Amino acid sequence: MLARMPAIVDRDSSYSIDGTALHTVIEELITGKTSLDELRGRRRQVDARDAVVTITDELIHDALEPAWQFWEKFLEDVDTWQLETEVAFPGIPGSFGTADVLARDDVENITHVVDWKFGVGVGVQASYVDPDDEDFEVVNEQLLFYATAAWHTLPDLFPPGARVILWIVQPRAQDQSPVTAVEVSVADLIAFAKEMGEALAVSKVAGAPIKMGRWCRFAACRTICPLHTGPLLDLEAISQGAASDRADPAYKTMLLDILKAAPVVEKLIKEARGQAHVMLANGEELEGWKLVQKRPTRQWTVDEAELARVLRKAHKVKKAQLYDSVLKSPAQVEKILPPKGKLPEGLALPVSSGTSLAPASDKRPAIAIEAGALSKVLLDALAQSVEGE
């Protein structure tokens, strides 16, 4: 399905570009080509996917320092390791991957496969709860691919009886642990190789089955996938059931139709805007559209030391007055604790910022709200506003 997409949609996000650069730097840290002290304050430039990424102190703090803390702890449990190893997947000619870290604990007979993830936001886990059966877990397929390919290419790393532990290290993941792991067996890897071969064979058959899942989240092909675009085919039904009176049962029907179509329509709009922007940036024309500059904001043209010197001389402004100091969030503070460190009890509590709309299938419990309560709050606020005037 991705192969049928226009080439223009094959573009890298800023997060993936940053991730490529951070992969380069963590490898240099591990091999001793640089150090965190050497990187701090230097704003080093790193080439990544036809772009240049500046390794700022923020990236060092949020991504590289936690990754390095994991690595130092990890080294205590392994005897040998190797980086960026290209491994071939069995049974599928031309299929290969590059494993970030392969390591051995010879005493405990454990083989480790580690994958660095430097993306922001949505967390990638080593395993997930099976959506079809909550009593089972699904192992991250990318990790299984690397491990199976490593077992096939480097069998000495998987001696008889070896345990296999797969790791995801994602320092900037949100709403989950930055380090997740799952244990599998060599038998699991052999089974995965068989499943992959069968899946590839099925995919070549006309009318091959497709399935929605977490793998769709960042896939550009969702905009042409019938499982995602299906609701659009019935958009006309929305106008047929249009109603302006909330008391009319047809009003809720119309609202449900719109909510059902909204996720797909939003993705299509986002994709269309992204493609249009790239086309115009490449010098192509789109009737009725053009690129314009975003609202400009003033930026300093001198470095911090020069700025402080000039303002001190001209207006007697002290250097301390040029900076704001803000307390870090609980999640940010936890990242600077030792690996697996937790905040002491009672220092922080989860406080919701409000309510949000979610489908009934969402695992979070519905909150109980008195009918008309929100309307009453808004009316009360409006009344107070009028009295104030």
- What's the rounded Cα separation, in Å, for the pair 291 and 6? 21
Over the Cα atoms of the chain, what is R_g? 26
Measured in degrees and rounded to the nearest 5, phi and psi for residue 99 equal: -80, 130
pLDDT score, position 193: 96
The domain limits of the chain are 1-76, 78-209, 220-281
Residue indicated by tokens 């989950």: 176
- What's the rounded Cα separation, in Å, for the pair 48 and 19? 9
Q: How confident is the model at residue 91 (pLDDT cuts 50, 70, 90)?
A: very high
For 88, the token pair is 């071939």
pLDDT score, position 389: 47
Average pLDDT over residues 82-105: 96
Per-residue pLDDT tens for 286-329?
A: 899 998 888 888 888 888 888 888 988 888 888 888 888 788 88
Average pLDDT over residues 366-373: 65
Up-side HSE of residue 205: CA atoms within 13 Å toward CB? 9
Angle among Cα 337, 29, 52 to the nearest 5 degrees reads 105
pLDDT score, position 232: 55
What pTM did the predictor assign?
Answer: 0.64
Measured in degrees and rounded to the nearest 5, phi and psi for residue 139 equal: -80, 140
Question: Of 130-134, 204-208, 277-281, 374-378, where does the model show the most confidence?
Answer: 204-208
DSSP string, 175-229: SS-SEEEEEE-HHHHHHHHHHHHHHHHHHTSTT-----SGGGTT-GGGGT-HHHH
Per-residue pLDDT tens for 211-265?
A: 888 788 777 787 778 887 765 555 555 555 555 666 777 778 878 877 877 777 7
- What's the rounded Cα separation, in Å, for the pair 155 and 177? 31
pLDDT score, position 369: 63
In what helix (H) or strand (E) does residue 83 lie, and over which residues does it extend?
strand 80-88
Q: What is the mean pLDDT of the chain?
A: 83
What percent of the chain is modeled with pLDDT above 90?
Answer: 35
Up-side HSE of residue 29: CA atoms within 13 Å toward CB? 23
Give Cα separations from 218 to 7, 118, 290, 383 (angstroms): 16, 15, 27, 46
If one counts every other C-beta atom within 10 angstroms of the C-beta of residue 243, the result is 14
Per-residue pLDDT tens for 15-72?
A: 778 888 999 999 999 999 999 999 988 888 888 777 888 898 889 999 999 999 999 9
pLDDT score, position 222: 78
325 versus 76: the higher-pLDDT residue is 76
Give buried/exposed letters for 266-286 (b at 16+ CB in 10 A, else e).
ebbeebeeebeeebeeeeeee
Answer yes or no: are the C-beta atoms of 21 and 39 closer than 8 Å: no
